[in-house]
Amino acid sequence: MPVRKTIVGIDSPEALERALGSAQYIADEGLATAAYLALALGKPLLLEGAPGVGKTEAAKAISAVLGRALIRLQCFEGIDSAAALYEWNYPRQMLAIRQAGERSINIYDDEFLIARPMLEALRHPETSTLLIDEIDRSDHEFEAFLLEFLSDFQISIPERGTVRALERPVVVLTSNRTRELHEALRRRCVYHWIGYPDAAREAQIVMMRASSVAQATAEAVVGAVGRLRQEPLSKPPGVAETVEWAEAATLLHQGGATWPAAFRRAIGVALKDQDDLMFLQGRLDQVITGIAA
């Protein structure tokens, strides 16, 4: 199976980093390098990180850079091959059998096959990117089943035979690390841990994603979020929360709220856990403004 050694117009991690930037995604050197190598070597890219650090968005941006359609498989507890691969459309098969009468029909024809994300990706590897999102939510059986898919990029449909990709599909897997992934799965991938961005990069992300936000507001929110992440919270704010908090506070400010009260009043978009709010009670304003108590 051919491996993509070059990607048109992208001949280095730096070039990929720039291209991702044009797709509204700010990648650091580590992520750009891992993604570049995964693409160049034809391996799946495994992105792990805390909630809201930009894992899913990275897959979307990679897909956009490649000019491909994103096919997303959202994992969940109990996900099985019917949700991931394919299903037979039983009602249509039954109807066709009834309508056919004496005539013989092939009930395993394409028209009765409902392709799910993994089969779709195998059928159109040159025009799609497969995102297997939140793999840690699935169970071990599904992970074992994925191993086979990721090694050979083929699947067997008993009634039809084997479907094999003509080239290696681009696959991005994400995990929030709510459980450890199997060693064998990791081995097949290029791995990258997405951490929280540094303050300058996070402010850049806020400005890029929320055009209504002033630079000073972005920087203040990034500072406050950085302090919140140092607290032992059960749900520390991700980058998504930083963007939304900056946007929400700006909105309140435009409606007449003063600074820093606007940050305080918009806290519900940054902290979404009552225990965390209780824990910070009384200190929240200091944490937000960075003024020592």
Ligand X SMILES: Nc1ncnc2c1ncn2[C@@H]1O[C@H](COP(=O)(O)OP(=O)(O)OP(=O)(O)O)[C@@H](O)[C@H]1O
Q: How far is CA 203 from CA 83, 106, 143, 239, in A?
A: 39, 58, 36, 10
In the complex, least distance from residue 164 CB atom to Mg ion, rounded to whole angstroms? 29
Distance between CA atoms of residues 83 and 50, nearest Å: 26
Structure tokens at 216: 């000073």
Question: Measured from the CB atom, is 52 or 236 closer to ligand X?
Answer: 52
150: three-class secondary structure by DSSP? helix
Query: Which one-letter amino acid corresponds to residue 45?
Result: L
Q: What would the DSSP string read from start to end of 255-279?
A: TTPPTTHHHHHTGGGT---HHHHHH
Choices 20-28, 53-61, 150-158, 243-251; region in contact with Mg ion by CB under 5 A: 53-61
- Smallest gap from Cβ 44 to Mg ion, in A, equals 16
Quick one: 43 or 60, whose CB is closer to Mg ion? 60
Name residues whose C-beta falls within 8 Å of residue 72's C-beta, 6 or more positions apart in sequence: 117, 131, 133
For the bound state, the minimum distance from the C-beta of residue 52 to Mg ion, rounded and expressed in Å, comes to: 8
* Rounded CA separation 263/253 (Å): 9
Which residue among 34, 75, 190, 205 contacts ligand X (CB under 6 A)?
A: 205
Q: Which stretch binds Mg ion (CB under 5 A): 37-45, 52-60, 94-102, 119-127?
A: 52-60
Binding residue (CB under 6 A) for ligand X from 43, 55, 192, 253: 55
CA distance 199 to 186: 30
- One of 56, 129, 138, 250 touching ligand X (CB under 6 A): 56
169 belongs to the binding site for ligand X (CB under 6 A)? no
Cα separation, 113 vs 246, in Å, equals 46
Q: How many C-alpha atoms does 153 have within 13 Å on its Cβ side?
A: 22
Q: Name which position in 10, 36, 38, 54 contacts ligand X (CB under 6 A).
A: 54
Of the ranges 70-78, 161-169, 203-211, 272-280, which one interacts with ligand X (CB under 6 A)?
A: 203-211
Nearer to ligand X, 135 or 262 (CB): 135
Contact between 250 and ligand X by CB under 6 A: the answer reads no
Among 33, 56, 217, 250, binds Mg ion (CB under 5 A): 56
Size, binding site for ligand X by CB under 6 A: 18
- Choice between 32 and 280, CB closer to ligand X: 32
Of 106, 110, 113, 116, nearest in space to 90 by CA: 113
What is the contact surface with ligand X in residues (CB under 6 A)?
A: 25-26, 49, 51-57, 174, 176, 205, 208-209, 239-240, 243
